[in-house]
Structures are given as structure tokens and as C-alpha cells.
Chain A
Amino acid sequence: MMTPGARPAPGPLALGAVLVVALVLPLLLKNFVVFQLTLVMIYSIAILGLNLLTGFNGQFSLGHSAFYAIGAYTAAILMDRWDVAYYWTLPVAGLACFGFGFLFGLPALRLEGIYLALATFALALATPQILKSSPLEPFTGGVQGIVILKPDPPPGLPLNADQWLYYFTLAVLLVLFAGARNLVRGRTGRAMLAIREHPVAARLMGINTALYKSLTFGVSALYTGIAGALGAIAVQFVAPDSFTFLLSVSLLVGLVVGGVGSIAGSVVGGLFILFVPNIAEQVSKGLAGAVYGLILLLVIYLMPSGAAGFARLLWSRVVRRTHAPTVTEGRIP
């Protein structure tokens, strides 16, 4: 009799296959597609940040466009004003967002569920206005935004700028995903999960809920901020209107479609929010929004727990069929 724990996991094998494909792809595809895939990875990182907060800690946020914007503007201002190398902007953007997220998380501790969603919603709506406002204009460039240059590949590598940025982003993505996995599996992660499942009980067990909640907010903002910095470098341009509430909505959609609480699902979410709007536009130009909405509804109905939940369901079917034919003798999961 097989116990659920003994089922073969799809993890390492699938991960290896995906990695090989990811390494080979940019050599075969057109530059524009490579650029799009880079954006997919950037969105995946941002969605992962949101996932740490929502999926693993149970706090809602509609304001992650603000953290993305802070990351992007940090990178752009550093590169534009002080000629900082692009790779140094990532840690700076991450730390800035961590600080901001932690500070925003402190008062947000008092808010639960829908109230937190609303406070962050307001943050998302206010961000473009604050970026445009006159006191900040010398730094942010106001409505015009900031144009930055695409980094050159290191000399000696047979790659063009798009391919180099792709590999650079892939490396960052792998580091951040591994970091998230370790975080979630360790002591901190267990505390985060306990708070998600039952805040009061977690507190009774001696978990410092206030600290862990703000910390999670900070880490989540850090991920999204790094994604924002990468996004600014890839798009070579930041402007207030790229960071509206719609970006937060996209990230949230990616989170739900990919699977709440699934690290790998974040990549599916990234793919969805980059490509599905384009597909919708191809179906009908005038009604792109409506087609997108319909696709979204369809996904919610068919996969209520996202792509990750759907994959788990399929996998458990496959495994049951090939590895556990004796299931009929009693235990129906």
C-alpha cells in the first residue's frame, strides 16, 4: 500500500527539463520573443513576491504596483543620475522596497483581509499621482519619466543585448526562486503558514505575529521591487502611467491563475499576464478587454485553484493509474 508521501514527485525531473528549455530557447528565437520571455520572468518574480504575501501569509495586497514602481524608479534614477551599473541597482531597489514594505506593513498589521486589500488599493491608485507630483519632479522626471540605456553584454560573450538580459534575468529568477523555496520551508516559512492558517492560534504558540507579518510584507516588496528594477532595465523606460492600479490587477490575476501558494505557479502566472492580453487583442481589437475578461472567467471556473492545483490534480490521477492500481481495495482519496 502506498502512502501519499511515497508518491513520486514531479519536481526535480520537470525542473531540469524546464531549465534546459529555458537555457536553449533564446538561441533559437527572434529577439522580440526573447524580450517577451524576459518580461515573463520579470512578472514571475513580481508574482512570486505577491505569492509570498498572499499565498503563504494570507495577507491581501492590491498595491504591489507601488512596490514595482519604487523598484523601477530606484533603478532608473540610479542609472540615469549617478551612472550606477545596472546590476548594482537590483540590491539597492530590493532594499529600498524591503524598507518601504516593512514600514507599510507595520500599520497594515491592524488590517485584515479586505481592509488590507483596500488600503493597498488606495496605495496603488495614489502611486502614479505621487510620482507625477511637483516636489518629486526633479528626480522622477514628472509625466515624461526617465529613459535609460539597455546594458551591453559583457565583452567576449557571443550574445546580443536581448539574449544577455534574458540570461541575466534567468539567473536572478533562479536565485530568488531558490531563496523563496528555502524561506517557505524553513522556520520562518512555518511561522508564515501558521499565521495564514490561524493568526490567533499562531500567536498562542509563541509566534511573534506582528514581526512575521511585517517581515513578510517587506520580503514580498523586496521581490516585487527587484522585478521592478529588472523591468525598468528591460523596457529602458519608466513613466508614472506604467505603474497604475492595472499593474497590481495583472499581478493578482497572475497569482490566482498560476495558483495561490505555489512557487512554480508564479511562472505560469507570468506567462498568462504577458501573452493572454495579446491573444485577446488578436481575437478582437475593439473587444479585447471583454475577451480577456471571458478567458479569465473561464480559467476561474475550470481551475478554481489555479494552474498549480490543476497540475496537482492531473498528476495525482496519473500516479494513481500507473503506480497504485490497488487503490480500489478501499482508500479513495
Chain B
Amino acid sequence: MELLLHQILAGLATGGIYACMALAVVMIYQAIGNFNFAQGEMATFSTFIAWQLLQWGVPFWLAFLGAAVAAFLGGIAIERVLFKPLHRAPPLSHLVAFIALFAILNSLAGFIWDFNLKTFPSPFGSRPLLGSGLISTHDAGMIGLTVLLLALLYAFFRYTRVGLAMRAAAAHPVSARLVGIRVGWMMALGWGMAAAIGAVAGMMIAPVVFLEPNMMLGILLYGFAGAVVGGLTSPGGAVAGGFAVGVIENLAGTFIPFIGRELKLTIALVLIVGVLMVRPSGLFGRPVVSRV
């Protein structure tokens, strides 16, 4: 029983990271109608920036903020420079542009900071929380920070003018344009925020998996899985999906004997395909209706 509880809590902790990645994926999907395959590399790059700042002796939370701001500006720049000119290009060209972005960021990170594993400090420490042995302080901090971030985002999209404008631009670009919302800039803002959320996810998972250029590759897949399980049209669903994927992954890895470590990624595959079979638009998504 205690093992079960322990695994569920650990699953929630990594699930928070997946939830952040899923949310970032959904935000860019809403803006551009395509998966950002470079999302993980953007997060890794931002985490490297934080690491560099820490090496220079900047206090943790300042470095954290600095990396998130850098990611935000970088995300906006990527949208403005790379994707705005491709706005009318077919989706496959977008996909290839993401692949190019992936290659560039991955190679740059490896060139600047090399491919050796680096330890990344946790601001929460890694002692058992309250001496209970159920969950470590870092895991608890990860869950807390994720929930805080998600609550802030919820409030932002619900109660602020900019948040509402962004939702309008995503839901109905033409109408939004007609009421005076600058749809292009809202998209860029969405990119920036997605990049910053990804950066937070990267900095939270780095103490667990060690920092290196390919750090986020597997994590991004779980993020995709979370986004699909929850539904690509529903940010809240994507977050729930991310948490669910984290818990399922942990439980299956512990309690189903032959899965163990080597087939963990396959769980994400089975989840994605399984959910898509039963509900093609995800658990919380709306079915897409198109006009003939």
C-alpha cells in the first residue's frame, strides 16, 4: 500500500513536468495547427542558460527567472523570424521547419555546453518531506510549482484582457482580427509563453535526469501523450492528461513485471494509440467538425 502511494506521488511529480510540456504543445498547436517537435530542445536550451547563469554565481531563483524570460523572448523571436514567413506554407513545411529548428538548437547546445552530463541543483533539496519517506522535497516542490504555474495561467486566460484576446485569436482568427485584436502578435505571445512554460519544465526535471542536449527527447513524447490523452483543443485536458500519463507510467513500470525500464516508452505509444482509437479527439477535446 505504501509502495502504491509512493509510486502515485512520484508519478504526480513527473506528471507535472509532462503536464507543462503538454500545455506548451497545446498552446503552439492552437496557434499554428501543428506539433512543435522542437519544444523539447527549446526547453533544454533554456535550462542550459539557467545552468550557465548558476555557474556565474547568480542565485537560483534569479537564474530561474532569467532563463524563463530568455525563453519567452526566444519563443517570440522564433515565431517572428522563422514561422511568420511560413504562415501560408503547407503543414508539412512547418513540420520540416520544426525539424530544422530541432537540429539547430540541439547542435548549438552541444557545441556551446558539450554533451557531458551535468548536474543541475534543485532549489528544494532532495531530503524526504517531513521525514515520512513517501515523497522527497524536490518531488513535492515540483508538484507545488507546477500547480502554481497552472493556476496563474488559468487566471491569466480567464481574467486578463491579453489572455482573453489570445483565446479569441486562437478560437477564431478572422473575427478576432475584426474586433481589433492583433492576431499575429497574439500568436507570437503564445509562442513565448509556451517556450517559458517549457523552460520551467526543463529546469524542474533537470535535477532528476541530469542536463545534456538530448535531455527532453523522451519527456517530450510523454508530453505529446499527455496532450493527446487530454485532447489537443483543451488546455485543461492536456494538463490532466500529463498528470495521468505520469502516474500510469510509474505504476506500470513498477507493477507489470516485463515492462520494467526497457519498455517504458512503449507505454506512451500504447496510451496514445489506445486513446485515439476510442476517442479520436482526446478525453476532453471537442470533435472537429468541418464543412463540406
Contacts and interface: CB of A to CB of B under 8 A. Distances in A.
B256 interface: no
Given A118-B35, A133-B262, A133-B263, A252 B221 contact: no
A286 B110 CA distance: 8
Contacts of B266: 126, 129-130
A200 B288 CA distance: 14
B82 interface: yes
Nearest to B279: A110
A111 B232 CA distance: 13
Contact of A129 (B35, B97, B258, B263): B263
Given A130-B266, A290-B104, A300-B93, A125 B221 contact: yes
Contacts of B99: 249, 252-253, 293, 296
B277 A107 contact: yes
A304 B93 contact: yes
A297 interface: yes
B280 to A, nearest CB: 5
B176 interface: no
A113 B276 CA distance: 13
Interface string A270-289: 00000000000000001111
B96 to A, nearest CB: 5
B148 interface: no
Given A125-B265, A133-B262, A289-B106, A115 B276 contact: yes
Given A129-B266, A290-B108, A292-B103, A118 B228 contact: yes
B273 interface: yes
Interface in A109-158: 110-115, 117-119, 121-123, 125-126, 129-130, 132-135
B86 A129 contact: no
A296 B100 contact: yes
A287 B108 contact: yes
Given A126-B265, A286-B111, A300-B93, A111 B276 contact: yes
A200 B92 contact: no
Given A110-B280, A260-B90, A121 B224 contact: yes
Given A130-B266, A252-B99, A297 B82 contact: yes
Chain A at the B interface: SS class: helix
A118 B272 contact: yes
A224 interface: no
B133 interface: no
B205 interface: no
A292 B105 CA distance: 11
Contacts of B101: 293
Contacts of A114: 29, 33-35, 91, 232
A288 B111 CA distance: 10
A290 to B, nearest CB: 4
A100 B29 CA distance: 30
Contacts of B100: 292-294, 296-297, 300
B85 A301 contact: yes
Interface in A45-62: 54, 60
A256 interface: yes
A224 B90 CA distance: 24
B151 interface: no
A301 B92 CA distance: 13
Given A118-B224, A293-B99, 17 more contacts: A60-B95, A110-B280, A112-B280, A117-B95, A125-B268, A134-B262, A252-B99, A255-B92, A256-B96, A260-B90, A290-B104, A293-B101, A294-B104, A297-B82, A297-B100, A301-B85, A304-B93
Interface of A: 54, 60, 107, 110-115, 117-119, 121-123, 125-126, 129-130, 132-135, 198, 200-201, 249, 252-253, 255-257, 260, 286-294, 296-297, 300-301, 304
28 contacts: A107-B273, A111-B280, A114-B34, A114-B91, A114-B232, A115-B228, A118-B272, A118-B276, A122-B224, A122-B268, A122-B272, A123-B269, A125-B221, A125-B265, A132-B262, A133-B262, A133-B263, A252-B95, A256-B95, A286-B111, A287-B111, A289-B104, A293-B102, A293-B104, A296-B100, A300-B93, A301-B85, A301-B86
Question: 6 closest pairs, A vs B, by CB?
Answer: A289-B107, A293-B104, A293-B103, A122-B269, A296-B100, A293-B100
